[in-house]
Amino acid sequence: MKAVITAGIALLSLACTRTDPVQMLVNARWIDLTHDFEENTLYWPTNSPFSKDTVFYGITDKGYFYASFIYSAEEHGGTHFDAPLHFGHPDSPTVEQIPVEQLMGPGVVVDVSERALENRDYLVSVEDLLDWEERHGFIPPGAIVLLNTGYGQFWPDPVAYTGTDLPGEEGVANLRFPGLDPAAAQWLVDERRIHSMGIDTPSIDRGRSEYFKAHRILCDAEITIMENVARLDELPASGSFIIALPMKIKGGSGAPLRIIAMLP
């Protein structure tokens, strides 16, 4: 009888200390990792920029205030999402086909800013990822791996952020910013079951890339990609939870993205 009472007390104690998930969400600190979409939003040099025009703004003839706008934007610009179709194959998943569960996961923030700010062509390596694991443990299944190159601080200055303010193909030829080594992309595919990759530059492949191998490796493995992610310097290396919700464009290869981080 004494053992039963002891077990009951232990279970009651456990129940009383169990975290209420709703209360945890209410008490969490939330960080918006999304750049605003506006006239200074940065796009690939060959893409059309974001535009927003007024449909109506003011007092109607019936006496109440009303506002409505029209905007246009390419899929891949500003803080945005790459579906596997972007660099995969014709049958790769499109934006609306990505399971909601794949749009969230534990945050893994790999800070390579010191090296990347010294070298605009820096490639985040397998060694960088292994160094993160040596200090923080294995990259967990379902993780969203975010690469902090330090270039987010330059947004939206096109020259400081991308290396050029030239438009068109001339601009593409002059892009200079860090990215992910294709070997590191392949290692993540082969060795870690991650949900997504993100980076605080315009592309997961560095600016000087011609063949976009990191994109192709990740998209072939149906790992989604997030680019131009903001405020990564405000996140811890581990311990955050990331929610990344793209505009649900049917058949889309990508979409504008609202990405947030929760810090319990």
Domains of the chain plus CATH, in order, are 29-47+75-263 (3.50.30.50)
210 phi, psi to nearest 5 deg: -110, -25
Q: Are 198 and 244 in contact (CB under 8 A)?
A: yes
| Residue 124 to residue 116: CA distance in whole angstroms | 8
pLDDT at 25: 84
The tens place of each residue's pLDDT in the chain, 264 residues long, gives 544 444 444 444 444 456 788 888 888 999 999 999 999 999 999 999 999 999 999 999 999 999 999 999 999 999 999 999 999 999 999 999 999 999 999 999 999 999 999 999 999 999 999 999 999 999 999 999 999 999 999 999 999 999 999 999 999 999 999 999 999 999 999 999 999 999 999 999 999 999 999 999 999 999 999 999 999 999 999 999 999 999 999 999 999 999 999 998
Q: How far, in Å, are 82, 149, 208, 210 from residue 109 at the CA level?
A: 19, 10, 24, 26
pLDDT at 22: 87
Greatest CA span in the chain, whole angstroms? Answer: 82
Question: The pTM is what?
Answer: 0.91
pLDDT at 13: 47
pLDDT at 21: 81
Helix (H, G, I), strand (E, B) or coil at 47: coil
The predicted-structure confidence for 47-101, as pLDDT tens digits, reads as follows 999 999 999 999 999 999 999 999 999 999 999 999 999 999 999 999 999 999 9
| Residue 53 to residue 69: CA distance in whole angstroms | 6
Helix-helix angle 126-136:182-191, to 10 degrees: 50
Which residue is it, tokens 């003839």?
61
Q: Are 241 and 196 in contact (CB under 8 A)?
A: no
Instruction: Read off the tokens for 70.
Output: 């029209």
Query: What secondary structure letter does DSSP report for 60?
Result: -
CA angle 69, 71, 76 (to 5 degrees): 155
pLDDT at 17: 53
| Residue 100 to residue 120: CA distance in whole angstroms | 34
End-to-end CA distance of the chain: 40
| Residue 11 to residue 13: CA distance in whole angstroms | 5
Nearest to 121 by CA among 196, 210, 194, 41: 210
Residue type, position 212, single letter = F
pLDDT at 14: 41
pLDDT at 5: 45
CA torsion sign, 20 to 23 to 25 to 27?
negative
pLDDT at 139: 98
Q: What proportions of the chain, in percent to the nearest 5, are helix, strand and coil? A: 35, 25, 40
